[in-house]
Structure 1
Amino acid sequence: GMVPAEAVAVIVLKRLSKAESDGNPVYATVVGSGINYDGKTNGITAPSGRSQSQLIKEVYDRFHIKAEDMEYIVTH
């Protein structure tokens, strides 16, 4: 089962050029992001498939992302 709860997560981002000049290891880069909310779902555990698909397409188009170039996607 699922137990709804609260959580906190923090991630500190640095520009790629700064991380490279500082000699930091680079594990990933953020190429683009997007958010949507269409208000027509049964809650966060049942998002609108149509809206999610549209969001992904819009983000890929806006940031000129080719799906075959992706290695990792973070979603909620």
Structure 2
Amino acid sequence: MTVALMWEAKAAPGRGAELLAWARAQPLEPAPHRRETLTAPGGRVLVMTWWDAPYDAGLPELPEPAGELVARAVHRWRFETAD
């Protein structure tokens, strides 16, 4: 089964590039099967990781960034392949 984890954060004003660099630098051990980092206007950063694991597996996730780097708490979602 494939499980996808989504991690989304909104940067504090003027700190979008810093949040993006922070997210890219965060290691995940073990490494996921696939990892993508995306951005959107307003300093939003989205990191998606794909794992070959059961839905409820204990998988490594990106941590919360330092409070001054983000405008709100990180949002997290977990999905499984529907096919």
* TM surpasses 0.5: no
More helix by share: 1
Higher relative contact order (CA 8 A, sep 6+): 2
More strand by share: 2
TM-score by length of 1: 0.29
Larger Rg: 1
